[in-house]
Structure 1
Amino acid sequence: MLQALGLQGSDTEKCRDAIKEGALVVIAEADANRDGDAAPGRLESAEDVLRASGARDIWLTDN
């Protein structure tokens, strides 16, 4: 699932394991549309992926 955020190969496993251990902060930048806003649902999708990987505390921002 972390591949949906752009991670590849062993980086996916390392990130998942670090999230489960509570030792990582993940900052993801979403592509903006023409108005400069994140695509609808992109932040929610990112939250779903992170939670499925074991993340507990997630703060989302669209700025």
Structure 2
Amino acid sequence: MIPWLILTAILVGPAGWVLGHRTARIRIIPIGAILTEDQTAIAAEEVDRFWQIVDGLDLDQPDDPRSST
């Protein structure tokens, strides 16, 4: 009787550990992106942000506000 309890404990312990870790909140989800795709996406976002900043500038004013000719 005791060897069956020991065997059951040995088998149930790892099964519970695996089940507990499979249902954990943190999961690694591979998205299939490679480094160059990540760098391209980051660069495109930076370029878009740059042009948003440039579009927000008021470039119609003269360089020297004292010269109003």
TM over 0.5: no
More relative contact order in 1 or in 2 (CA 8 Å, sep 6+)? 1
Structure showing the higher helix proportion among its residues:
2
TM-score bracket for this pair, using the shorter chain length: under 0.3
| TM-score where L is the length of structure 2 | 0.24
Which is higher, the Rg of structure 1 or of structure 2?
2
